[in-house]
Amino acid sequence: MNVLTTIAQLREVVKTAKYNRQSIGLVPTMGYLHEGHLTLAAHARSENELVIMSIFVNPTQFGPNEDFESYPRDFPRDTELAKSAGVDYIFAPSVEEMYPHDGGITIRAGRQAHILCGATRPGHFDGVLQVVAKLFNLMQPDRAYFGQKDAQQVAIIQTMVRDYNFPVTIRVVPVIREEDGLAKSSRNIYLSAEERSQAPAIQQGLQLAKRELLESGSVESAISLAKKIIHDNTDGHVDYLMILSYPDLQEVDDQTDQIVVAAAVHIGETRLIDNLIFSLKGEIIHV
């Protein structure tokens, strides 16, 4: 496995792969890899001749008071893990390499970005789209792999791919969980032992909301039951807990086919997100 740090190096690799008609699978990450990322890499490995993983903590998707500086980083460990997952190349550019110019063109996410995480993280999804669009242009992947844990991110990226005609197929891989149900996340390491023991209540709340919605049909009672479970079992506070149509992220109505129940909860200093996607018949949907 090789590490590429410049766009020029990456372009050479992509040019050769295209010349040899090799399919390219892209696994975009911000590093500090966990099993969720490695599952994305395994899917990419099984479907593509060349697998490129980007490791780039993208500053444009962090707000001024967010954890860009302290976001966990461990490049030596990441390279070992990526290698063991069969990744062919890591692309790990510096911030200057990715963003050498100030004040240029940015991308603005649409309506799907105004709620859920977007409501408290203004500009976050614009930054995600900016870096993902750059990665798509640089790597020209046949397939790109994202985790369902970031369901809103996936929905917004799919909209960009549709609206801007990116010739890439988005593959979505189900949430990878700890044994007690907590969704794996690079940010889980911020949790103290006590906070970590409370965190599975988020998933329990979401499961309860799903059950209640399917049984009673009431969005309001599903939301309040889920919030109660989280309040009763954690010291955290719920940033949002919503039930929406997926992937358009609108209010649920008679026409809604797929549903997402999504939450963001602050436990201590750590903001955790999780979701379930299902149909009104109750089937879990891996989008």
List, as one string, the DSSP characters of 12-63.
Answer: HHHHHHHHTT--EEEEEE-SS--HHHHHHHHHHHHH-SEEEEEE---GGGS-
Query: Among residue numbers 52 through 111, which ones bind ligand PAF (CB under 6 A)?
Result: 58, 61
* Binding site per annotation, positions for beta-alanine: 61
Per-residue interface string for the shown chain with ligand PAF, residues 148-177, x marking contact by CB under 6 A: --x--x------------------------
* Binding site per annotation, positions for (R)-pantoate: 61, 153
Please identify, among the stretches 26-34, 83-91, 170-178, 208-216, the one whose residues bind ligand PAF according to the rule CB under 6 A. Answer: 26-34
Measured from the CB atom, the residue of 41 and 131 that comes closer to ligand PAF is: 131
Minimum distance of ligand PAF from residue 257's CB (angstroms): 25
38 binds ligand PAF (CB under 6 A): no
Work out which of 26, 30, 138, 183 binds ligand PAF, going by CB under 6 A. 30
H or E stretch at 203: helix 201-216
Cα dihedral value 258, 260, 261, 266, nearest 10 = 180
Say which residue the tokens 């980083």 belong to. 73
Q: d(Cα 251, Cα 187) in Å, to the nearest integer?
A: 29
Structure tokens, 154: 């996936």
* Binding site per annotation, positions for ATP: 30-37, 147-150, 176, 184-187
Query: What b-and-e string marks burial along 222-244, b requiring 16 or more CB atoms within 10 Å of the CB?
Result: bbebbbebbeebbebebbebbbb
Per-residue interface string for the shown chain with ligand PAF, residues 111-140, x marking contact by CB under 6 A: -----------------x--xx--------
Minimum distance of ligand PAF from residue 27's CB (angstroms): 9
Q: Is 279 in contact with 257 (CB distance < 8 Å)?
A: yes
Please identify, among the stretches 25-33, 86-94, 206-214, 225-233, the one whose residues bind ligand PAF according to the rule CB under 6 A. Answer: 25-33
Residue 7 DSSP symbol: H
Local structure of 155: helix, strand or coil: helix
Minimum distance of ligand PAF from residue 84's CB (angstroms): 20
Minimum distance of ligand PAF from residue 39's CB (angstroms): 14
Say which residue the tokens 């329990």 belong to. 204
Minimum distance of ligand PAF from residue 170's CB (angstroms): 11
Question: What value does the CA radius of gyration of the chain take, rounded to a whole number of Å?
Answer: 19
Query: What b-and-e string marks burial along 2-34, b requiring 16 or more CB atoms within 10 Å of the CB?
Result: eebeeeeebeebbeebeeeeeebbbbbbbbbbb
| Active-site annotation holder among 37, 114, 231, 266 | 37
Question: 237 catalytic, yes or no?
Answer: no
Q: Which residues are catalytic?
A: 37
Applying CB under 6 A, the residues found at the interface with ligand PAF are 28-30, 58, 61, 128, 131-132, 150, 153
